[in-house]
Structure 1
Amino acid sequence: MSRTTLPAAALAAVLLLSGCFGGTTEASGDGAGSGDRVRLAMLQPPRSGLSPFSDDAFKLSRWSTAETLVTLDADGVAQPALATGFAQQGDPRTWRFELRDGVTFHDGTPFTVESVVTTLTAATKASPRPRILDGVELTVTPDPAAPADAVLVTTGDADPLVPQRLSSPQLSILAAAAYGADGVVDPIGHGTGPFRLVSADTTTARLDRYDGYWGGPAKAAGIDVSFVPDGTARAAALRTGTADVVEAVPVSQAALLDAAQIHEVPMPRTNTLYLNTEKGAFKDPAVRAAARAAVQRDPIVATVYEGRADVAAGLLGPALPWAAPARPQRTPAAPATVTGTPIVLATFTDRAELPEVAVQLQQQLEAAGFTVEQEIREYAQIEADALAGTFDAFILSRATVLDSGDPVAYMYSDFACDGSFNIAQLCDPAIDAALKAASAAAPGAQRQAAIMQAEKLILESDAAVPLLHERVIQGESGAFTAVERDSRERMLITSGTAPA
């Protein structure tokens, strides 16, 4: 499709990109000299004024303007960032974090113990609180033994995931001036990252290189951001050369772009068929096994997702690289013979692929002997019925790790007896015990093994039939190297992103 034949909304968005990114070389606002600036097209505009206590925090992280005490590696293990070291104290509820020297905020003020205390205390008092602190009682104080160099973080209950929690972009550390008396947090000019946020609104944002960055100056002069919700327009911006990096290219547009510009990143999101274990046809484990045996994943991936997804072997996919090697063998239940068994299969329209997945599954289940009736609505109008167990089967696209980078919270929510999102109505004491063991295990190999044991029991119950793991498609023009391709969508443009 040429630029002149774009739909009106898409054309308008491309023109906006062209206006925002009119120059290819600009001087840095911090005296770094001239250099190329990254032109970035993003999916969603800020929803909460770029408050770090909201999901807007992930934009601040992807722009490398706000930083956290720790980061996560590919396996979800906490690594040093603004904190150079951390360890649990003798009290299992208390962790000590040693802070990095020589860090300054973009407003010139120093990064100190008081900065950390101010940020984390403000987070605990925010309304609504950052999602990562749901159900967590947390206090932070200077370490009496080294009040200028370290903080103590104490939780109400022992929590082995405290470092992982503090890696959440929603707990990025900002300068004291960012926190207003009215509870509003202003990140502009108040981060510690390699790029200083200069301005932002609902259509654009500008960031300049910060020469005082503790890790050394960034290789790009800055970032010019445009928010382009229309997927066709984002793809067109890449195709017409008005953007260097594009978030979330739609599957339907990927084939229209140069294959060298398309990069598929596995997401920690699984498309799953949940079966109602409490009542109806799937109360019988053998009937659930018959449904599981009927599912053919490859045609769904090939047709609905045009091959741009990964066939599921479990609840956790390739976005968690440790999951597959740690997955134990399962013993599947024997399926019943099904003849005309009626079931109601439900899903929602908000994700365009799911109704198509429902059509494929209906055909597969009917071929196995079920009689299938579909129920499809908008998510806001169907969620309550799904959680109440109204349907026999429900197709859901579900994030499998939350802000801590750990899947236990998702598994507990969806499959524990008192799980808050238990669409399968599952209640199995053995599964609850496995989830409790995983929750208490220390991060690393021990926790991973416990998680996979819980996954094994859940899958052997046939309460959930994982179908596929989704990917996000990232577009890159090739004008810049070292653009991050992050399955957690925390990093994108970094200090290492450089003109090609």
Structure 2
Amino acid sequence: MSGSANRRHLLAAGLAAAVFAASGMPVRAGGVRGGTLRAGLGGGSATDSWDGATHDGLFMTAVAAGAVFDTLTEVAADGALRGELATGWEPSSDARTWDFTLRDGVRFHDGAPFSAADVVATFDRLGSAGPLAQVTSIEATGPLGLRLTLAAPNANLPFELSDPRLFVQPRGEVTPVGTGLYRVGAFEPGRRFLGRRVDEHWKDGRAGWFEQVDVLAIDPSAVRLAALRSGRVDAIDGVDLHAVGMLRASGDHVVSEAGDWVQAVSHRVGMPGRIGTKRPMDDARFIERWWAA
């Protein structure tokens, strides 16, 4: 999934969220802890790193934002905008200045406490990536207080800060140490990520159902399809439309089509109800939201 695709899906999710919130329809949110999720994703590269500004393919986007790190806000599985590392926000009367309250008690995987200084340092390093291009100044107003000033009014800023590239790293350093539900067990750039569930997390009971996640970067799409059919992985993205008939005939997978590409997920995996026209893996946070069915 490219950066432009990320932005399109972010917008689609926002529109769907408004419809879903108005409908009041519930979405099943999770299952029972346990098991290992195995996914085969495209877009891996030997140059893959933990710098969010460089993430373009689905492999690193999902591994970073969906497993290891958190952003300030997220579009939740039920379509609602919710705080992730932020718990609240307040705009000025003209929506050019935004004050955020950050989540207390959060720690990075190395035990260091999370604070506003980490957000400031991370956003300063990311520079003009995505929504940060509109930010003219960022400052910590306290250990858990953050202020962003924009070049022009923007009432949608909290929604835009859910961009999966804007995950927060300790002291802004490019490191695999995050605040997310999964710590890095193994990582081979452009090949594989193995994540292990942290013992305690503020999202317990809401996300992080699998005890391990094993994500393989697999290209081309024909090899991903073979990995799915052989049972090597439980889910794949970016398969050509010609595979739809074969996948549907097997009856073993949920198949989702959009444009010229298909995603397929084994019935062994449980997923929250989707909103709008999004496919299961269009949401970079699918790793933390799926469970063993």
Give the direction of change, closer, same or farther, for the CA distance of 1:219–1:79 in structure 2 (3 Å limit).
Answer: closer
Paired residue type of 1:478? H
Percent sequence identity is 26
Would you say how many aligned residue pairs link Structure 1 and Structure 2?
Answer: 247
In the alignment, what sits opposite 2:149? 154
Partner of 1:55: 55
Of the candidates 201, 207, 232, which is equivalent to residue 222 of structure 2? 232
Which structure has more relative contact order (CA 8 Å, sep 6+)? It is 2
Q: Answer whether contact 2:270 2:291 (CA < 8 A) is retained.
A: yes
Q: TM-score, normalised by structure 2?
A: 0.75
Q: Which residue of 2 aligns with 1:242?
A: 232
The answer (yes or no) to whether the contact 1:132–1:170 under 8 Å persists in 2 is: no
Matched, 1:492 2:286: yes
User: Cα distance, 1:156 vs. partner?
Assistant: 2.2
Q: 2:137 aligns with which of 132, 136, 139?
A: 139
Instruction: Tell me if the contact between 2:254 and 2:267 (Cα under 8 Å) persists in the aligned partners.
Output: no
By how many angstroms is 1:77 displaced?
Answer: 6.3
Which secondary structure does the structure 2 equivalent of 1:255 belong to? helix
The Cα shift of 1:148 comes to 2.4
In our comparison, the structure showing a higher alpha carbon Rg is: 1
Q: C-alpha distance in 2, partners of 1:75/1:194?
A: 19
Q: Tell me, yes or no, if the aligned pair for 2:116 and 2:145 is still in contact at 8 Å.
A: yes
| Offset, 1:106 | 1.2
Shift of 1:73: 5.3
1:116 — aligned with what? 119
Change (3 A) 1:251 1:70: same
Query: Within 5 Å, which residues of 2 pair with 1:71-470?
Result: 71-72=74-75, 78-90=81-93, 92-124=95-127, 129-134=128-133, 136-143=134-141, 147-176=142-171, 179=173, 185-186=174-175, 188=176, 190-200=177-187, 201-216=189-204, 218-257=208-247, 258-264=250-256, 308-309=257-258, 470=259
8 A Cα contact 2:135 2:148, kept in partner: no
Would you say the 8 A contact 2:65–2:71 is kept in 1?
no
Which amino acid is 1:480 matched to?
A: V
How many angstroms apart in 1 are the aligned matches of 2:270 and 2:52? Answer: 28
Structure 1 residues without counterparts, runs of 5 or longer:
1-33, 180-184, 265-307, 310-469
The 3 A distance-change label for structure 1 pair 75 and 132 is farther
Q: Give the match's secondary structure for 2:35.
A: strand
Structure 2 unmatched ranges of 5 or more: 1-32
Q: For 1:497, give the aligned amino acid.
A: W
Letter in 1 for 2:291: A
Q: Residues 85 and 473 of structure 1: is their aligned pair in 2 closer, same or farther, counting only changes over 3 Å? A: same
Give the Cα separation in 2 of the matches to 1:262 and 1:77. Answer: 24
Measured in 2, the distance between the counterparts of 1:487 and 1:493 equals: 9
For 2:238, what is the secondary structure of its paired residue?
coil
CA distance in 1, matches of 2:93, 2:222: 55
Instruction: Give the aligned partner of residue 15 of structure 2.
Output: none
The answer on whether the counterparts of 2:42 and 2:238 sit within 8 Å (CA) in structure 1 is: yes
What is the identity, as a one-letter code, of the residue corresponding to 1:220? F
Q: Which one-letter code corresponds to 1:42 in the other structure?
A: L
Q: Distance in 1 between matches of 2:80 and 2:202?
A: 23
Q: CA RMSD in A?
A: 2.7
C-alpha displacement of 1:61: 4.6
Q: Is the 8 A contact 1:67 1:82 kept in 2?
A: yes
Distance change (3 Å), C-alpha of 1:194 and 1:59 = same
Shift of 1:255: 1.7
Give the residue type in structure 1 aligned to 2:283. E
Q: TM-score, normalised to structure 1's length?
A: 0.45
- Partner Cα separation in structure 2 for residue 173 and residue 62 of structure 1: 10
Secondary structure at 1:63's aligned position in 2?
A: helix
Residues 244 and 255, structure 2, Cα contact 8 Å, conserved in 1: no
Secondary structure of 1:493's counterpart equals helix
